[in-house]
Amino acid sequence: MSHIITLLLGITDYDFMRNALLAGTIAAIVAALVGYFIVVRNLAFAGHALSHISFAGAAGAGLLNLSPLTGQLLLTLLAAGGMGWLGEQRRKSDTAIGIILAFALGLGVLFLSLYTNYAGQAMAILFGDVLGVSRPLLLQMLWFSLPCLLALALIARPLLFASLEPELAEAKGVSLPLISSLFLLIVAVAVTEVSQVVGILLVFTLLIGPAATALNWTRNFWPGIILAVVLAVITVWLGIILAYLTDWPASFWISCLSLVVYLLSLAKTSWRRVKR
């Protein structure tokens, strides 16, 4: 046991591990907080679409000599704004998201064909490379996450009200289109953050997994939010540590742990129903 503790403490002696744990913590907190509202609002498809759209932004950034993070953020914000504008009515939202997603994927193919040197870097963006997070990228993630969390805190109350009782919220003067558009912009930032850890293709792992698990355990707001954050952070930390010990990708471990915890929450929910 002491050998394991010594080994785990020794991990933080390496700069790349400290960067990975810090980046993972930032991404986990943002993903859990934003993901909670995504699950409550049934916007999983929007999160999925924005994650794929961000790849086109990263590819386009290569053409403009910008960092992939900057390109991802810019394009996902534009796409989120378009989704909010086109999908003003809930019944039209999925159509708007699908149209914008298809166009962005076409852009990604175009950018890759114009900048063939980007192909190698594309793998890290698609599947994540948390152990390769640099100090400048870590600082970028931190500065992008602060306004994201501040904006979410400012709209959290009307957002939750509009998510649970949209008709009543509108009657009370809450602008549903405005709240929806603002939240999609926040989701765009969260998707960009999380993709730095688990990659674009596995964004759902952190954005949906911990929040969905927390909602299976409790329907109360504050306990659910706190539990989602705790689950996300622990999942990321364990995934990074296991990646270091086994030399398997951190994205695999994070997605695997997220699935296991979610299945356990489903089993507990099913057991409660059986007992009743």
Domain range list for the chain: 2-269
Helices within 41-134 (DSSP H only)? 44-63, 68-86, 90-114, 119-127
Q: At what angle do helices 221-246 and 15-40 cross, to 10 degrees?
A: 140
- The per-residue pLDDT for 91 is 47
Which string of DSSP letters, residue by residue, matches 177-214? HHHHHHHHHHHHHHHHHHHHHH-GGGHHHHHTHHHHHH
Q: Is 172 exposed, middle or buried (0-12, 13-18, 19+ CB in 10 A)?
A: exposed
Distance CA 261, CA 210 (A): 8
Residue 94 to residue 45: CA distance in whole angstroms: 8
Confidence at residue 4, expressed as pLDDT on a 0 to 100 scale: 59
- Which residue reads 């700069």 in tokens? 15
- How far is it, in rounded angstroms, from Cα 193 to Cα 181? 19
pTM as predicted: 0.89
Residues in the chain with pLDDT < 70? 1-10, 86-93, 115-123, 268-276
Say if domain 2-269 classifies as CATH 1.10.3720.10.
no
CA nearest neighbour of 57 among 46, 68, 48: 68
pLDDT number for residue 92: 55
- How many other CB atoms are found less than 10 A from the CB of residue 140? 20
DSSP, collapsed to helix, strand or coil, labels residue 88 as coil
